[in-house]
Amino acid sequence: MCKAWRKVLKDIIAYFREVQTQHEARARSIGKLTQTLDTATRPSDFVARGGILETNTVLCDFHKEAVINTQSAAKIETEVINNLNSLRNDLNSKIKEIKALSGDFKNNTDKEKEASKKEVLKLTDALEAFDSNPSGAKDP
């Protein structure tokens, strides 16, 4: 059961690492697009508002998503992956603690069961002897 939990946590961590990687890759791609847009030529005789150059403003606003993706990747690392790693480490330490305590719960029931069985046999023999010869019983 412990191995199953460790595996589940490991798989979830791997999933969120991949999500983080995807956010970072998207942020880099959008960053490159933004740089391309920033270096684009803007002739001064074009209309700045309401014309074709306004697409630069719209696209720049759209590309602010890169910042959001970068922040999302950082949040995934700090809030999800680190907490899952901490949980996994706690699980591992609790497993070790439980294994260390397992010696405290060892018992000798088999030995005691065998001794009880012998005593019950002695009692059975004594009762049979008493049943067969009640006068031979000793008074305490």
* Predicted confidence pLDDT, tens digits, the chain (140 residues): 678 888 888 898 899 888 888 888 888 888 788 788 777 767 666 666 666 667 777 787 777 776 777 777 778 888 888 888 888 889 888 888 888 887 777 777 888 899 999 999 999 988 888 888 777 656 55
Spans of all domains in the chain = 2-108
CA distance 113 to 125: 18
* Residue-level pLDDT at 119: 94
CA distance 27 to 115: 74
pLDDT digits (tens, 9 = 90+) for 73-93: 778 888 888 888 888 889 888
* Residue-level pLDDT at 138: 60
* Residue-level pLDDT at 136: 65
Helices 2-38 & 65-75, crossing angle to 10 degrees?
160
Q: What is the pTM of this model?
A: 0.51
Give residue for tokens 């306004």: 54
Which of 77, 60, 59 minimizes the C-alpha distance to 17? 77
Question: How many residues in the chain?
Answer: 140
* Residue-level pLDDT at 129: 85
